Amino acid sequence: AAARFGQGPLAGKRVLLTAGPTREFLDPVRFISNPSTGKMGLALAEAARTMGARVTVVLGPVGAVDRTGLEVVDVVSAEEMAREVLSRVREADWFIASAAVSDWRPETRAPQKVKKGETPEVLKLVRTPDVLAEASRTVAGSSRRPVLVGFAAETERVLEHAREKLERKGLDAIVANDVTVAGAGFGTETNQVTVLTRAGTRRDLSGTKREVARGILELLLPLAAPPTE
């Protein structure tokens, strides 16, 4: 049974999350994306809500999902995701970036469907905004800086890459995900992760995405500033 609103260890806290993939269109009917289903992010949203938080999910295209008790802001592209996050992150107590944001988009988007006879010989790509890094810069030095949590989806040298991202993006913690492990990563019901903190702690968690989500939040609760009383 879900906890009543406003009770639990995150009572009254605002948790902002990104979840799902983004789509970067090259014409009205074609896009670049990835296999993310948003399940891990939505499990985190549900876990945070159960712990009493007010949860906003900036959600890429994932199809029909249970939105009960969540504020969901639907977005398609990385640029839209960045805009919706940056307008909200200053008010957040937690920002958790679980979205699989496309790192590139086609440089141009054709206004009409490109016909198959007009095969583009090269597809020029440009970088999208790094939503998490921009959010981190936006709140850097603020007295009410949210706890910043990232994910790292890796296929090799997982912890090394995750640690590097934690430092480069100015995070408090990062959830490292080896997406080559069976039963972890994109689209699965279960996950197996290692949570690294800026303070240097390291913890392995595995189970259903729901269990892992709860484990991540419980592990990270001490990172939040103590109530000012």
List of residues contacting ligand CTP (CB under 6 A): 18, 78, 97, 99, 101, 103, 128, 130-132, 150-153, 165
Which residues make up the interface to Ca ion (CB under 5 A)? 103
CB neighbour burial string for 167-204, b if at least 16 within 10 angstroms, e if fewer: eebbbbbbbbbbbebeebbeebebbbbbbbbeeeeeee
Question: Of ligand CTP, Ca ion, none, which one sits near residue 43, judging by CB under 5 to 8 A according to partner kind?
Answer: none
Smallest distance from ligand CTP to CB 46, Å: 18
Task: Report the phi/psi class of residue 187: left, alpha or beta, with left for phi > 0 and alpha for psi in -120 to 50.
Answer: left
- State the minimum distance, in angstroms, from the CB of residue 103 to Ca ion: 4
44 binds, among ligand CTP, Ca ion, none (CB under 5 to 8 A by kind): none
Which one of Ca ion, ligand CTP, none interacts with residue 132, CB within 5 to 8 A by kind? ligand CTP
Q: What tokens were used for 72?
A: 């969901």
Nearer to ligand CTP, 10 or 78 (CB): 78
User: Closest CB to Ca ion belongs to which residue?
Assistant: 103
Q: Which CB, 70 or 132, lies closer to ligand CTP?
A: 132
Question: Is residue 110 within 8 Å of residue 119, measured between CB atoms?
Answer: no
Catalytic annotation present for 191: no
Query: What is the crossing angle of helices 131-139 and 78-86, to 10°?
Result: 20
CA angle 85, 91, 92 (to 5 degrees): 70
Q: Which is nearer to ligand CTP, 48 or 52 (CB)?
A: 48
**Is the CB of 34 or the CB of 208 nearer to ligand CTP?**
34
Cα–Cα distance measured from residue 104 to residue 122, given in angstroms and rounded to the nearest whole number: 14
Whose Cβ is closer to ligand CTP: residue 104's or residue 110's?
104
- Considering the candidates 33, 34, 190, 206, report the single residue annotated as catalytic: 34
Q: How far is the CB of 141 from Ca ion (least distance, A)?
A: 26
The angle, 0 to 180 degrees and rounded to 10, between the axes of the packed helices 39-50 and 209-220 is 50
Any idea which residues carry the catalytic annotation?
34
